Structure 1
Amino acid sequence: MKKLIIIYALALLAASCTKDAGLTYTEKDKIYFAYNYLYYTQVIEYNKVVFSFGMRPDSIIKDTAKIGIRVMGQQADKNRQYRISIDKDSTTAQEGVHYEGLKELNTFGKGLIQDTLYIVVLRSKLNSSHITQENRRLRLRMESSEDFDKGTQKGAVIDLYLNNYLSEPKWWKKYEGYGLYYYHPEKWKILMAFHPSFRDANSDYPMNANQVSTYFSSLRSYLAQNPTYDKETHARVLIDKLVP
């Protein structure tokens, strides 16, 4: 009798696993904004995407923001359509001014579990002030369609923030004591020209202390020899201060 109970339990478990694996899954697939990603062994969650023109040349007046879209279910052998809407009450970006119009129905590619939503963003009306640091928000909601139901609650909404300034990178304050001093976008632009590792705004430490000290010394020399000015106040930018 005990053996029969064990066999029955294993059979139930196998049936459950088969459904979870998608092998006998018959419900409509669910779709959501890809709100997490795996960084080494840690799952990082987010509910916003930031697109900044600040690191792009002034000649770039139009570009494309990208938002991940993920399916909870199975791959398909045909293209499918998913539906998005704009939460106008929580959106400060203006269609035709800060971004080009979005389609209500978008295509999810065949054979994929994750795809990308592309949004054309516009620069000319975004404030470039380092002092004001204006962000325009576009809040998107995932809706049900003929091909998909809405997925997880966390992935139902995502915010796209648009800006046109160079906000302080994550690593800046950690390097202040190595001779970097206060943050200014002109200083960061010069560092990015020195070495591409400085372009990663979300890194904790782009390089080790010995390496950065050499670049910070070069930055000091560059600013001393090449007059560089704050675009708004017109103060001269030096390594450790702004000079009116």
Structure 2
Amino acid sequence: MKKNILYLIISSLILLVSCEENTDGYYDNIARIYFPSTTDSVNFSFGDQVMTYTRHIVYMPVRKMGTPATREMKYKVSLNKERSTAIEGVHFTTLQDEYTLLVDSVNAYLPVELIRDELSEEEVIYKIVLDMKESTDFELGSKEDLQAVITFNNYLEEPAWWKEIFGKKTIKYNQGMYQQLIAYYGHPLERQYCINHFLEVQSVFKREVYDYAQANPELTRDWEFQPNIKWDFN
């Protein structure tokens, strides 16, 4: 009789565990959230964007374990201040208290808005480290996937073609001058385009960099600027 009772107790426990625990070692009736390990790091550069582009939103993927949500669910993240070098409210907008995972979904995208205004133009990398936190709707998933990193900068590297096009005329590469060309063309220039359109690029440079050159004459002292000339390259 005692053996039968013991057998029933053990069988009940095994059945209970098998119903509640999934293959990941978590209980199916507990909602858990994490950063997918394949997309937990994002990098962005303002350097090759036109100067008027001062805000950029990074969407960091977030995922719910198991089945899609049957209602809107709230999750939380916090800034890891010890590991972050970017300043909240200065280099990126203040994080919200909580974010939403929509109904019928297991995926969400955490928006983080980067701010260009106070970023150095030197080769400086800014880093935001985010930690996933428990919320009223979610407990945490695998401990290896509870942190995400965003890196960004405002550095515009000297293009390989710069000395070929301007080397004999300018003293050195200057990010501000290149930004004037990017503003005119709407995008960074490729080497082959500059080689194929050598006179055009030099002429656009003379016209578009005129104001910048007046404020920084030491950078372009060998140039003879003629900003009023209308160039036609068609």
What is the root-mean-square deviation of aligned Cα atoms in Å? 4.1
Check whether the contact 1:32–1:69 (CA below 8 A) recurs between aligned residues.
yes
Specify the alignment match of 2:30 in structure 1: 28
Query: Secondary structure of the equivalent of 1:82?
Result: strand
Which of the pair is proportionally richer in strand? 1
For 1:121-147, what per-residue CA distance to the aligned partner results, in whole angstroms no more than 9, with x for missing partners?
22210112xxx2112211101122232
* Aligned AA (1:31): I
* Aligned AA (1:87): N
Check whether the contact 2:40–2:60 (CA below 8 A) recurs between aligned residues.
no
Is the alpha carbon distance of 1:235 and 1:49 closer, same or farther for their aligned partners in structure 2, counting shifts above 3 Å?
farther
In 2, distance between residues paired with 1:91 and 1:214? 39
May I ask how many residue pairs the two structures share in their alignment? 186
Q: Which runs of 5+ in 1 are unaligned?
A: 1-14, 37-45, 200-211, 237-244
Specify the alignment match of 2:81 in structure 1: 88
In 2, distance between residues paired with 1:34 and 1:166? 30
Identity fraction in percent: 23
Runs (4 or more) in structure 1 with deviation over 4 Å come to 182-185, 228-233
Q: By how many angstroms is 1:165 displaced?
A: 2.5
In 1, distance between residues paired with 2:41 and 2:132? 14
Check whether the contact 2:28–2:66 (CA below 8 A) recurs between aligned residues.
no
Specify the alignment match of 1:112 in structure 2: 105
Q: By how many angstroms is 1:90 displaced?
A: 0.8
Check whether the contact 1:63–1:122 (CA below 8 A) recurs between aligned residues.
yes
In 2, distance between residues paired with 1:223 and 1:150? 54
Q: Which runs of 5+ in 2 are unaligned?
A: 1-17, 168-172, 222-234
Query: Secondary structure of the equivalent of 1:63?
Result: strand
Specify the alignment match of 2:200 in structure 1: 222
Check whether the contact 2:125–2:152 (CA below 8 A) recurs between aligned residues.
yes
Q: By how many angstroms is 1:215 displaced?
A: 2.7
In 1, distance between residues paired with 2:36 and 2:82? 23
What is the TM-score normalised by the length of structure 1?
A: 0.59
